[in-house]
Amino acid sequence: MIEGKLMIKGKMPKQCVYDNACKLDKFCMKRSDLSDETGIFKQIMFIVDRLHIKGHIGIDCKKYNHPINFPNLQGVVTVMCEVINSWASGFCHNTKHMNAIRFNFFYSLFFLNIIKLNLKEK
């Protein structure tokens, strides 16, 4: 069940960038030996995004969860979720009275346009 929810194109992500990844890392590692299913957490590296890393001053945060330790993330905008969340929240007044079908349709178009925008910029 966990695998199915986290898989992207049939594969488990090797890295997870998140605001509070250091705590998520500890949470997942505590549970990683509970079953084969939770054991997949051992395969994922949890990384704090660049926006939030300033507040993470713990030794473990700097050693295991700092984005600077992951060369493949150099040049990657790890705060993209924050940017998209900020854009999406600008529509909360428009969407709060929509039914589920219209809401899903609206945000499907929203995210499709973000993807198109990103592709044009590259």
Instruction: For the CB of residue 43, give the shortest distance to Zn ion in the complex, in Å.
Output: 21
What are the beta bridge partners of residue 11?
Answer: 8
Q: What mask of x and - would describe binding to Zn ion in positions 14 to 53, judged by CB under 5 A?
A: --------x-------------------------------
Which residues in 62-101 contact Zn ion (CB under 5 A)? none
Cβ within 8 Å of residue 62, ≥6 positions away? 56
**Residue closer to Zn ion, measured from CB, 17 or 61:** 61
Name the CA dihedral angle for 41, 47, 49, 52, rounded to a multiple of 10 degrees. Answer: 100
Say how far residue 64 (Cα) sits from the centre of its chain.
17
The reply to whether 61 sits near Zn ion by the rule CB under 5 A is: yes
Contact 49, 32 (CB under 8 A): no
From candidates 56, 62, 66, 114, binder to Zn ion by CB under 5 A: 56
**Residue closer to Zn ion, measured from CB, 41 or 48:** 48
